Amino acid sequence: MARKFFVGGNWKCNGTTEEVKKIVSTLNEAQVPPSDVVEVVISPPFVFLPLVKSLLRPHFHVAAQNCWVKKGGAFTGEVSAEMLVNLGIPWVILGHSERRLLLKESNEFVGDKVVYALAQGLKVIACVGETLEQREAGSTMDVVAAQTKAIAERISNWADVVLAYEPVWAIGTGKVATPAQAQEVHFELRKWLHANTSPEVAATTRIIYGGSVNGANCKELAAQPDVDGFLVGGASLKPEFIDIIKSAEVKKGA
Ligand SMILES: O=C(CO)COP(=O)(O)O
């Protein structure tokens, strides 16, 4: 089964109502490859989700940037998976490095979130990635394998999971992984899935790259055999996001 190219736009903690409307109208007016070639998922902050969902044309879907680890209740400031389902939000990003590092979300906590979100019927973009220190210490694969293992040992069905490899040193730094660096980790992650889940999961799970992806570097990255798309931060707020969506064409005939 072919892995459909996937492009996520993670707006992080950015935007005003006016800016949101402007970005959405740019997306709605854009000529992009059809939905059988590329899946596009936009992830605004929680407060803008209903607005973005109501304005976006049907080709584009939405994702939350996080959700609570279990059923809602007395958890001030949290948003539950049930609420996202109730609002018709199909996707959620979990385990982003900004949450792992700044908010101290552990591998186990992220794994528990993935299980709970999937059980409520959400589709999950699960993020993994090493810091610069970890890369320099030669432990990149150990780190991403441990992060993936905490998910893999809790779930058996990967059909609704996209794995995002986002090296922390490349996020928001303008320092993109080279196509070879991205391919190497994606290949190793797929190999890890093959050995620790099943050959089918390894062959069908989309592994997308995130970290300073832009309109200029996306095509070369997209051409790598194990790069199945992108999770884009800064550039997803700009018109060049359209060029990143269009990089899906690189896979045609590949
Ligand atoms: O964290 C990211 C997407 O989730 C990547 O962010 P940048 O594209 O801004 O580096």
Ligand 1 centroid to 73 CA: how many Å? Answer: 31
231 within ligand 1 shell (Cβ under 6 A): yes
With contact defined as beta carbons under 8 Å apart, do 67 and 84 qualify? yes
Q: pLDDT value at position 2?
A: 85
Each residue of 37-47: pLDDT tens digit?
999 999 999 99
Name the pLDDT band for 252 (thresholds 50, 70, 90). confident
Task: List the beta bridge partners of residue 67.
Answer: none
Token output for 147: 């992060």
Q: Which one, of 6, 9, 5, 4, lies nearest residue 239 by Cα?
A: 9
**Does position 78 have pLDDT exceeding 90, yes or no?**
yes
Give, as one character, the DSSP assignment of residue 164.
E
Instruction: Check pocket membership of 171 for ligand 1, CB cut-off 6 A.
Output: yes
Cα-only R_g, the chain = 17
Residue nearest to ligand 1 atom 7, measured at CA: 233
Q: Per DSSP, what are the bridge partners of residue 61?
A: 41
Q: What single letter denotes the amino acid at residue 22?
A: K
* Interacting residues of 223 by C-beta distance below 8 A, sequence separation 6+: 179, 250, 254
Indicate whether 1 pLDDT > 60: no
Catalytic residues: 96, 166
Of all helices (H) and strands (E), which one includes residue 61? strand 60-64
Query: Ligand 1 in contact with 183 (CB < 6 A)?
Result: no
Helices (H), 96-172: 97-102, 107-119, 132-136, 140-152
Is 9 a residue whose pLDDT tops 80?
yes
Q: How many CB atoms lie within 10 A of CB 142?
A: 12
Q: Report the atom number in ligand 1 closest to the C-alpha of 172.
A: 10
What pLDDT is attached to residue 254? 62
Tens of pLDDT, residue by residue over 158-192, are 999 999 999 999 999 999 999 999 999 999 999 99
CA dist., res. 130 & res. 218, Å (int): 21
Interval between CA 138 and ligand 1 midpoint (Å) = 23
pLDDT of 178 reads 97
Beta carbon of 166 within 6 Å of any ligand 1 atom: yes
**Beta strands of the chain (E only): which ranges?**
5-10, 38-43, 60-64, 91-94, 123-128, 161-165, 207-209, 229-232
Q: Output the pTM of the full model.
A: 0.98
Residue 198 — pLDDT band, cuts 50, 70, 90?
Answer: very high
> Around 251, how many Cα atoms within 13 Å sit in the side-chain half-sphere?
23
Residue nearest to atom 2 of ligand 1 (CA): 233
